[in-house]
Amino acid sequence: MRPTQATSPADNIDVLALIRRYRMIIAINLAIGCCLFLGSTFLLPQKFKSGATLTIYTKYFQNPLVKDFLPELYDTSELKSQRENLIRQSFNDEFLNDLGEKEGLFKSKSSSPERETEVDELRKRIEINSLQNTTFTVSFIHNEKKKTYEIEKTIVDRVVTTLFAERRSTITKIRDSIQRRVEAISLNASGHPDPMASARPELLRKELAQLREQVKALENQYTAQHPKVNQLLNRMKLIEGWLEKAAPEKPRVYDKAMLIDGQPRAVTKEVYEDLLKKLNYLNILLDMDEDSASEYVAVLNPPSRPLAPVWPNKAVFLMWGMLTGLLVSAMIVMVTEYFERTAPSARDFARELDLPFLGSLPKVPWSETGGKPRKSSGPKKKQVRLEEWN
């Protein structure tokens, strides 16, 4: 019963008293919540996780012998993202397809459109987390304990292999490019663009003379359109072209490698030797990489054997159960208390009982009632009754 409308039910909420009053409901809800959530840990499908820790040393990105061709990175955040990208590159669709096929992780056929979705889901189960700028954990989640470990091993091998392949591929591309330039420069340095012309011009001239004689002889019997005549004329034109190019009075034709700022220049010995030196360095670097793989990438922690499922975690579920129990209890208490505290007013109650409502005592603070503190510290005085005052 609310004595007055001015009194809010929320004014007097005794939290401890509420807990004491509803302790049974709270205890039951907590027990139900814990039981339900713990029970669900036995029913839900389990997930196991195997992880390995990899370190990609900064040396991986440094090539002191060929700095000019492979610029080095010094920005730590850029290096970190570069490392992460390299790891992610390992898990391309082709690899994931092969892995899924090999381990029987896919349900759909390889040609079906669902396969792409399954490959994406498989990719999501591979977690890459950076511990530091150089160190990363690569983990795999699966519902079979043994298979999780085996797949994780494959994944780690794949990452290490991909990292080496990427580095070698970059260096090899540069080496091949330099090699092509060196070969081109060596050919152009002789001054003869056509190898045949530069090799035997006299022989060509002799052949040309012979061809002319043959053409003359044939023209006596056939017209100029005869195929045999045509064949000989074509050959003559070809040889004439070669000899024309090989003529000493013709200006030189330069290879692109010999053009600097669009102007032809003489290929110096220094440039050639410099390129040759770099080519040698790159070859040395590739030879070195074959023997010093562990200097670039290290597997700090090999794939771990999953002992307990990461999902459903009993401790976490127990906590969830307790929280749910508390929340449900709080809701029950709130609803119950709301209905309790918003009970009809005393007037309504009186009406319900068919009784008159007599009224209410005034709400007066004691300090305003006029009953001032007495000064009675001395010996007890004779009582003066109120009748006597009046």
Partner 1 sequence: MPFGWGSIFGARRPSEKELLEQQMPSREVDLPRALQSVVRFAETKQILDHLLSAQRERKLRSLAILSEMPREGRSLFSATIATSFGQLVRQKVLVVDCSTHRSPHSLTLERLLESDDLGEEEKMDRVRKTLSVNVSIVRLRDWAEGMETMPEYEVKGLMEGPGKNFDLAIFDTCAMAAKNRNNLDPIAIARRCDAALLLVSRRSATRTLMHEIRERLKKEKLELLGIAVNEGILV
Return the residue of 4, 233, 304, 306 that touches partner 1, per CB under 8 A: 4
What is the Cα–Cα distance from 371 to 386, expressed in whole angstroms? 13
**What does the DSSP 8-state code read for residue 345?**
B
Contacts to partner 1 from residues 361-380, by CB under 8 A: 361-366, 368-374, 376, 380
Residue 18 and residue 329 in contact, taking contact as beta carbons nearer than 8 Å: no
299: burial class by Cβ within 10 Å (0-12, 13-18, 19+)? middle
Closest contact distance (angstroms) between CB of 61 and partner 1 is 52
43 scored as a contact of partner 1 (CB under 8 A): no
Closest contact distance (angstroms) between CB of 333 and partner 1 is 12
Using the contact rule CB under 8 A, the part of the chain among 7-15, 102-110, 243-251, 278-286 near partner 1 is 7-15
Residue located via tokens 């990427």: 166
Closest contact distance (angstroms) between CB of 121 and partner 1 is 44
261 scored as a contact of partner 1 (CB under 8 A): no
10 scored as a contact of partner 1 (CB under 8 A): yes
Q: Which is nearer to partner 1, 43 or 386 (CB)?
A: 386
What is the Cα–Cα distance from 322 to 31, expressed in whole angstroms? 8
CA angle (40, 46, 48) in 5-degree steps: 145
Q: Which is nearer to partner 1, 57 or 349 (CB)?
A: 349
Closest contact distance (angstroms) between CB of 320 and partner 1 is 23
Q: Which is nearer to partner 1, 270 or 368 (CB)?
A: 368
Contacts to partner 1 from residues 287-346, by CB under 8 A: 339-341, 343-344, 346
113 scored as a contact of partner 1 (CB under 8 A): no
DSSP 116-177: HHHHHHHHHTEEEEESSSSEEEEEEEES-HHHHHHHHHHHHHHHHHHHHHHHHHHHHHHHHH
Neighbour count for residue 130 (Cβ, 10 Å): 14
DSSP helix/strand/coil, 307: coil
383 scored as a contact of partner 1 (CB under 8 A): yes
What is the Cα–Cα distance from 135 to 124, expressed in whole angstroms? 20
247 scored as a contact of partner 1 (CB under 8 A): no
**Residues lying near partner 1 in the complex (CB under 8 A):** 1-4, 7, 9-17, 339-341, 343-344, 346, 349-350, 352-353, 355-366, 368-374, 376, 380-381, 383, 385-387, 390
